[in-house]
Amino acid sequence: MEEFAALIDRLVYTRSRNEKLRLIAEYLRATPDPDRGWALTALTDGLDFPAVKSSTIRNVMKERVDPVLWTLSRDFVGDTAETASLLWPAPAHDGTKPPSVGETVDLLGKMTRANVMAELPKLLDRLDISGRYALLKLATGAMRIGVSSRLGKVAFAQAFDVSVEDVEEYWHGLQPPYAELFAWAADGADPPDIANLPTFRPFMLAHPLEETVVDLADYAAEWKWDGIRVQLVHAGGETRVYSRSGDDISATFPEMVDALAIPAVLDGELLVRGDTQGGAEGGAASFNALQQRLGRKTVSKKMLRESPAFVRLYDALILDGEDLRKKGWEQRRARLESFMARLPGTHFDISRIVEAENFDALAKIREGTRDDAIEGLMLKRRDSPYVAGRRTGLWYKWKRDPLLIDCVLMYAQRGSGKRSSFFSDYTFGCWDGDPDAGAELLPVGKAYSGFTDDELKKLDRHVRQNTTNRFGPVRETNKSLVFEVAFDSVHESKRHKSGLAMRFPRIHRIRWDKPVHEADRIEALRALVRD
Amino acid at 156: F
Domain count, the chain: 3
Q: Residues 95-143: pLDDT tens digits?
A: 788 999 999 999 999 999 999 999 999 999 999 999 999 999 999 887 8
453 in the same domain as 367 = no
Give the pLDDT score at 135.
95
383 in the same domain as 318 = yes
* Contact call for residues 328 and 385 (beta carbons, < 8 A): yes
Q: In the chain, what percentage of residues exceed pLDDT 90?
A: 66
Answer yes or no: is 61 within a domain: yes
Answer yes or no: is 182 within a domain: no
- What is the number of helices (H) and of strands (E) in the chain? 19, 21
* E strand or H helix that includes residue 107: helix 101-110
Cα separation, 341 vs 336, whole angstroms: 9
* Contact call for residues 379 and 220 (beta carbons, < 8 A): yes
Answer yes or no: is 95 within a domain: yes
CATH code: domain of residue 36? 1.10.3260.10
Q: Please enumerate in sequence order all residues whose Cβ is within 8 A of that of 118, keeping only pairs 6 or more positions apart, or say none.
A: none
Write down which residue in 374, 399, 424 finishes a domain.
399
Write down which residue in 383, 399, 415 finishes a domain.
399
Q: Whole domain around residue 52: which residue ranges?
A: 2-140
393 in the same domain as 244 = yes
What are the backbone dihedrals phi and psi of residue 348, each rounded to the nearest 5 degrees, phi first?
A: -140, 140
305 in the same domain as 228 = yes
Q: Please enumerate in sequence order all residues whose Cβ is within 8 A of that of 224, keeping only pairs 6 or more positions apart, or say none.
A: 374, 375, 376, 377, 378, 397, 398, 399
Angle between helices 80-87 and 54-62 (to 10 degrees): 30
Half-sphere exposure of 182 (CA within 13 A, CB side): 20
DSSP string, 458-484: HHHHHHHHTEEEEETTEEEE-S--EEE
What are the backbone dihedrals phi and psi of residue 256, each rounded to the nearest 5 degrees, phi first?
A: -80, -30
384 in the same domain as 415 = no
224 in the same domain as 208 = yes
Answer yes or no: is 192 within a domain: no
421 in the same domain as 391 = no
131 in the same domain as 280 = no
CATH code: domain of residue 446? 2.40.50.140
Answer yes or no: is 166 within a domain: no
457 in the same domain as 308 = no
378 in the same domain as 242 = yes
* Contact call for residues 190 and 51 (beta carbons, < 8 A): no
> Which one is predicted more confidently, 79 or 485?
485
Answer yes or no: is 187 within a domain: no
* Contact call for residues 458 and 412 (beta carbons, < 8 A): no
Catalytic residue among 20, 137, 153, 224: 224
Residue 380 falls in the annotated catalytic set: no
CATH code: domain of residue 356? 3.30.470.30
* Contact call for residues 415 and 422 (beta carbons, < 8 A): yes
Give the pLDDT score at 106.
96
Determine if the pTM surpasses 0.85. Answer: no
382 in the same domain as 236 = yes
Q: Residues 368-415: pLDDT tens digits?
A: 776 667 888 999 999 999 998 888 899 999 988 788 999 999 999 988
344 in the same domain as 221 = yes
